Every structure is written in C-alpha cells, then in structure tokens.
Amino acid sequence: MEVRPLGPQIGVEIAGVDVRKLDDAGFGRIYRAWLDHNVAVVPGQALEIEDFLRYSRRFGIVVPHPSKMTRHPAHPEITLLGVNKFGPDGALDMAIYRRGAEGWHTDGAYDEEPFKATQLYALAVPSRGGDTHFASMYAAYEALPARLREKLEGRKGAFTYGGRRKATALLNAEDRDWTPVLHPIIRVHAETGRKGLYFDPGKILYMDGLEASESDALIDELTERMIQPEGCYTHHWRKGDIVIWDNRCSYHKAAGDYPPEEDRIHWRVSIKERP
C-alpha cells in the first residue's frame, strides 16, 4: 500500500490495494489517511455493485439518496451519475448533466443527520473535462477574520434540499416538500476535533436568529469566503477510481464541462454516521 498526498492540504491517493481484499488493518490505514486528508482516491479497482456496497459500508451507514429517479433500479443505495442524460426527445437533461456543478456544496446538509461521506466509483470517463473540485472547510474556517468567527460561534443556519432557488429537479413531485433543519455553521468534526466552516449557499435558507437583511448579507459574505486556493484539490478521473470525500470538512463541485455526447458514469453512495 502506498499513501501519497495529492494537494497541499487535502487529497490523498492510496495505491496498491484491492478494496475487495482489505483486512481491518489495511482498511484502518485508508480510513486514517482519509480523515487526515478529507478526500481519498483509491485507483485501479474492478468492482461489482456488491463489492462497492460492501466496501462503502465500512465507512458508515449507506443510505438511499432522496433523488429516486437517479437510483439504480435494483440497488436503491446506489445513485447513478451521468445515466439517462438525454430525454425521450433527445434533449440534454441539464439537471443530470450538471449535477453537482452549480456551485460549491456539501452533500446532505438538508438532513437532520447530514452525510458523513460521499463515495464515487468511476465506470466511464470522458476524453476531456468532467473533473471534480474539492476544497477544505478547515482552510475556510482558519481564514475567517476574528470578527466573523465571533459572529458565527454558536450560530446555526437553516438548510433545505434545493435551498433558496428551490432546485429540486431531481426529486419526484411528491418528494419536494422539506422541513428545514438547523446546523451549526462552525462545525467541530466528530473524529478529528477540528473546526470547519460548515456552509452551503445552495442549501441554506437563512441564518437563525438574524434579521433577513443581515442573514442575506452574511450568506453572501460566507459564499465569498468558502474557498482558499491552498485548501483545494481537483480530481481528474480515471476509470476504476474510487473517490471518497468527507462532507463534514470539505466542499466539492463537479466541473460540469465534459463533452455531453460522451459517457461520464459513476456509482455513488451517501454515507451517514448514524441512520
């Protein structure tokens, strides 16, 4: 097993492993590297769905994503990315093609128990583009001026699926009604103990306890402060890559720029700490 950092603060590659055959000590090294680097890449895997699910369950509780229309028909815990990109009329479905590309975000903040991790396995990669960008929430927190840290300490934000823009195209009509949930904006990571800026401009509705104008201004300011260049890593996919990211301490965004006539297909799982 070779463990190699990919970016100055986040991103690590673990090469020389077959995730189907990992013992607990081997898995422990991957898990530790992932906690230390927030985004872990395990290249060169040849997996069946059951292999991917079994490996994913070692990280936590694998739950079905609320978007039923993009679930694998036989395996609800698997979300299919890049499948059914063209509608019956031949038009490109932008919600599928641009999934995850509309802005920096963290997955699952709309749930009371947000996603601990998201893991993708690459089945088909385009000839160009289609990268995934990652950024550290620790870096975002550490770069906040003292005045903002003070203002945010103990402050909660209200999050919902689709946020203020009501971006719910991937949900069935009967699943579009959500009750907002509150999460601390300064989040202490349950396993590393480090503080991060837990924020998502595409899911937040308002900052709890502030006037609407102050809440909007704070949301705009934090949107500008999410990304620190030294806290970034961009992943260029190869077929057979597994990438897992920690939604408790990193943001991500799909580049959304690959030739639409080419395939870019992943299996994706959502993983929680608790059900």
Ligand X SMILES: O=C(O)CCC(=O)C(=O)O
Stretch that binds ligand X, among 53-61, 69-77, 99-107, 224-232 (CB under 6 A): 99-107
Binding ligand X (rule: CB under 6 A), the pick from 19, 81, 152, 222 is 81
Residue 103: which residues within 8 A CB-CB, separation 6 or more? 201, 202, 253
How many residues are listed for the chain in this entry?
Answer: 275
Binding ligand X (rule: CB under 6 A), the pick from 37, 187, 252, 272 is 252
User: Least distance to ligand X from the beta carbon of 58, Å?
Assistant: 19
Structure tokens at 275: 């059900």
Q: Does 200 bind Fe ion (CB under 5 A)?
A: no
Stretch that binds Fe ion, among 13-21, 64-72, 93-101, 154-162 (CB under 5 A): 93-101
Cβ(267)–Cβ(92) below 8 Å = no
- DSSP for 150-179? HHHTT-EEEE-TTGGGT--TTS-GGG----
Structure tokens at 40: 């872990």
Binding ligand X (rule: CB under 6 A), the pick from 67, 132, 160, 215 is 132
- DSSP for 231-267? GEEEE---TT-EEEEETTTEEEEE---S-TTS--EEE
Structure tokens at 16: 């020389």
Cβ(198)–Cβ(115) below 8 Å = no
Show the site string, 98-137: x = touches Fe ion by CB under 5 A, - = not. --x------x------------------------------
Binding ligand X (rule: CB under 6 A), the pick from 254, 258, 271, 272 is 254
Which does residue 132 bind out of ligand X, Fe ion, none, counting CB within 5 to 8 angstroms by kind? ligand X
CB-nearer residue toward ligand X: 107 or 241: 107
Residue 35: phi and psi, rounded to 5, are -60, -40
Binding ligand X (rule: CB under 6 A), the pick from 37, 85, 99, 248 is 99
Of the candidates 205, 200, 51, 58, the one whose C-alpha atom is nearest the C-alpha of residue 140 is 200
Which residues sit opposite 234 in a β-bridge? 133
User: Least distance to Fe ion from the beta carbon of 252, Å?
Assistant: 6
Binding ligand X (rule: CB under 6 A), the pick from 106, 118, 119, 215 is 118
189 burial (CB, 10 Å; 0-12 / 13-18 / 19+) is: middle
CB-nearer residue toward ligand X: 183 or 268: 268
Quick one: residue 137, left, alpha or beta (phi over 0 = left, psi -120 to 50 = alpha)?
A: alpha
CB-nearer residue toward Fe ion: 9 or 247: 247
Of the candidates 38, 35, 44, the one whose C-alpha atom is nearest the C-alpha of residue 2 is 44
CB-nearer residue toward ligand X: 100 or 196: 100
CB-nearer residue toward ligand X: 11 or 218: 11
CB-nearer residue toward ligand X: 132 or 215: 132
CB-nearer residue toward ligand X: 9 or 67: 67
Residues at the site binding ligand X, with contacts judged by CB under 6 A: 81, 99-100, 107, 118, 132, 252, 254, 268
